[in-house]
Amino acid sequence: MLSDQELRIFRRDLLAWYAGHKRDLPWRRTKDPYAIWISETMLQQTRVAAVIPYYERFLAQFPDVHRLAAASESRLLASWAGLGYYYRARNLQKAARLIAERGEFPATHFAIRQLPGVGDYTAAAVASIAFDLPHGVVDGNVLRVLSRVLADGTNIASSAGRKKFAARAQTMLDPRKPAEYNQSIMELGATVCLPKNPQCLICPVGSVCKARGEGRQNEFPVKILTRKSVEQERTVYWIEREGSALVWQRPDGSKLMAGFWELPEPTQLPDVAVLGTLGHFRHGITFHSYRFSVVEASIPQDPGCCRWVRISDLEILPVSTVLRKAVHIIQSRRRTAVIAAGTS
Ligand code: SF4
């Protein structure tokens, strides 16, 4: 723990640094809880640079809860395509419908936390940033900064560790400036207290950081995962006819990515002939790491649940990341073939 004086210095120096060094991000120019909620939801599991264009497009398409509540599913999912973790978009819409019904955005931490898809992090972020309520956020950046500043080797991947650091985050929060404090500690983790190379020489809180004082900054955070990632090989078929590809759509009731378009796999089309391999890519889902082979295959007699869809339409339909990566491989091969033909 920090002494009272160290804590005062920590807050003061962190906030002063943030005021002068924060990145100019679109969601930092607003206090609108709706916009902040959208940005915080997109930022879960997605990098800042990748989120910016999605955030701007999303708000242009759905500028308030009412527009989001009324959006068609295909438009909603298409606006999210590429960000992954589509349950986030569905939950946003469910929550938007509730908020639209009630008439106004919930303005307490408790009420925000009740919305579908909102966890501890998002509730604390929206409550503090939009409403200046004193709730400390805990994300990967905060866990890293806190474990180093406090030189605390508690396993951040354990539930006991997360509870402990959540309590620490709350104690260290500056209750007079919760919005700035929460954003500043996340910003420090994202730009200075980096996972591999913490920039201690330029760090604004270096004077009170215990790990730096002990020269042990690279020993924190301690993260011990108990489950190992599972490697698996999978094949998807690329079957093309006159500018259309054979794809299938996940049914509405599907637990995973309902409504999304996918490429068929051998279980769906057992009788096609394999004509050649077009490429490979990796794709990770939680603890599974897949190596996909994209294989050209013959047109089946019975396409089963698959349908012909124009390849150009795949850009505007909600398609899975797997399908998107496979199309990228096909397009790269075609570009290479065109260049090779032009130079021969
Ligand atoms: S001094 Fe180094 S380890 Fe400590 S918070 Fe700053 S960057 Fe992180």
The pick from 145, 146, 219 for probing ligand 1's pocket by mutation, whose C-beta has the most ligand atoms within 8 angstroms, reads: 145
For the chain, what's the residue count?
344
Give one word for 59, left, alpha or beta, with left for phi > 0 and alpha for psi -120 to 50: alpha
Burial of 153 (0-12, 13-18, 19+ CB in 10 A): middle
Q: What is the CATH number of the domain that holds 245?
A: 3.90.79.10
In a domain, 225, yes or no: no
pTM comes to: 0.74
Per-residue confidence (pLDDT) for residue 229, from 0 to 100: 63
Q: What is the CATH number of the domain that holds 169?
A: 1.10.340.30
Per-residue confidence (pLDDT) for residue 45, from 0 to 100: 79
In a domain, 162, yes or no: yes
Question: Closest ligand 1 atom, CA of 220?
Answer: 3
What is the distance in A from the centroid of ligand 1 to the CA of 199? 7
pLDDT, tens digit (0-9, with 9 covering 90-100), for 165-224: 999 999 999 999 999 999 999 999 999 999 999 999 999 999 999 999 999 999 999 999
- Are 44 and 148 members of one domain? yes
In a domain, 88, yes or no: yes
- Are 285 and 186 members of one domain? no
What is the rounded average pLDDT of the residues 52-68? 96
In a domain, 224, yes or no: no
- Name the residue type at position 239: I
- Name the residue type at position 183: Q
What is the rounded average pLDDT of the residues 81-108? 92
Cβ–ligand 1 contact at 142 (below 6 Å): no
Per-residue confidence (pLDDT) for residue 344, from 0 to 100: 67
**Percent of the chain predicted with pLDDT > 90:** 78
> Which residues have a catalytic role annotated?
40
**Percent of the chain predicted with pLDDT > 70:** 98
- Buried (b) or exposed (e) across 220-232, using 16+ Cβ within 10 A? bbeeeeeeeeeee
In a domain, 189, yes or no: yes
Reported confidence tier of residue 339, pLDDT bands at 50, 70, 90: confident
CB contact at 8 A, 277 and 295: yes
- Block residue for tokens 């190992």: 228
In a domain, 38, yes or no: yes
- Are 330 and 300 members of one domain? yes
Domain boundary at 193, 219, 245, which?
219
What is the distance in A from the centroid of ligand 1 to the CA of 148? 6
| Average pLDDT in the chain | 93
Chain centroid to CA 208: 32
What is the distance in A from the centroid of ligand 1 to the CA of 239? 53
DSSP percent split of the chain into helix, strand, coil, nearest 5: 50, 15, 35
Per-residue confidence (pLDDT) for residue 317, from 0 to 100: 87
pLDDT, tens digit (0-9, with 9 covering 90-100), for 236-245: 999 999 999 9
Helix (H, G, I), strand (E, B) or coil at 265: coil
- Are 140 and 277 members of one domain? no
Helix (H) or strand (E) holding 231: strand 230-238
Cβ–ligand 1 contact at 150 (below 6 Å): no
Helix (H) or strand (E) holding 111: helix 109-113
Cβ–ligand 1 contact at 217 (below 6 Å): yes
CA nearest ligand 1 atom 8, residue? 193
What is the distance in A from the centroid of ligand 1 to the CA of 169? 16
- Are 192 and 78 members of one domain? yes
What is the rounded average pLDDT of the residues 43-70? 94
Reported confidence tier of residue 227, pLDDT bands at 50, 70, 90: low
> Is pLDDT at 49 greater than 70 in this prediction?
yes
- Name the residue type at position 328: H
- Block residue for tokens 């966890």: 119
Helix (H, G, I), strand (E, B) or coil at 296: strand
Domain boundary at 200, 219, 238, which?
219
Least confident of 55-59, 142-146, 338-342: 338-342
> Is pLDDT at 51 greater than 90 in this prediction?
yes
Least confident of 76-85, 117-126, 217-226: 76-85
In a domain, 263, yes or no: yes
Tokens of 307: 């349908």
Cβ–ligand 1 contact at 185 (below 6 Å): no
Task: Give whole-number Cα distances, 117 to 88, 91, 207, in Å.
Answer: 7, 5, 39
In a domain, 31, yes or no: yes
- Are 257 and 215 members of one domain? no
- Are 22 and 136 members of one domain? yes
Domain boundary at 199, 219, 239, which?
219
Tokens of 129: 């940033």
| Number of compact structural domains in the chain | 2
Helical pair 159-172 and 140-149, crossing angle rounded to 10 deg: 80
- Are 109 and 13 members of one domain? yes
Reported confidence tier of residue 23, pLDDT bands at 50, 70, 90: very high
Q: Which domain holds residue 94?
A: 4-219
Question: Closest ligand 1 atom, CA of 203?
Answer: 6
Alpha carbon distance 129, 155 (integer Å): 28
- Are 115 and 144 members of one domain? yes
- Are 282 and 186 members of one domain? no
What is the distance in A from the centroid of ligand 1 to the CA of 217? 7
pLDDT, tens digit (0-9, with 9 covering 90-100), for 314-331: 888 889 889 999 999 999
The pick from 14, 17, 149, 168 for probing ligand 1's pocket by mutation, whose C-beta has the most ligand atoms within 8 angstroms, reads: 149
Tokens of 140: 């990967």
What is the rounded average pLDDT of the residues 139-149? 97
pLDDT, tens digit (0-9, with 9 covering 90-100), for 266-317: 989 988 999 999 999 999 876 688 999 999 999 999 999 999 999 999 888 8
Reported confidence tier of residue 149, pLDDT bands at 50, 70, 90: very high
- Name the residue type at position 124: A
- Are 235 and 212 members of one domain? no
Tokens of 32: 């609108």
> Is pLDDT at 155 greater than 70 in this prediction?
yes
- Are 339 and 197 members of one domain? no
Per-residue confidence (pLDDT) for residue 85, from 0 to 100: 79
Cβ–ligand 1 contact at 203 (below 6 Å): yes
> Is pLDDT at 343 greater than 80 in this prediction?
no
Listing DSSP states for 128-197 in one string gives HHHH--------HHHHHHHHHHTT----TTSHHHHHHHHHHHHHHS-TT-HHHHHHHHHHHHHHTS-SSS
Alpha carbon distance 118, 104 (integer Å): 17
Alpha carbon distance 218, 195 (integer Å): 8
Listing DSSP states for 298-316 in one string gives PPPS--TT-EEEEGGGGGT
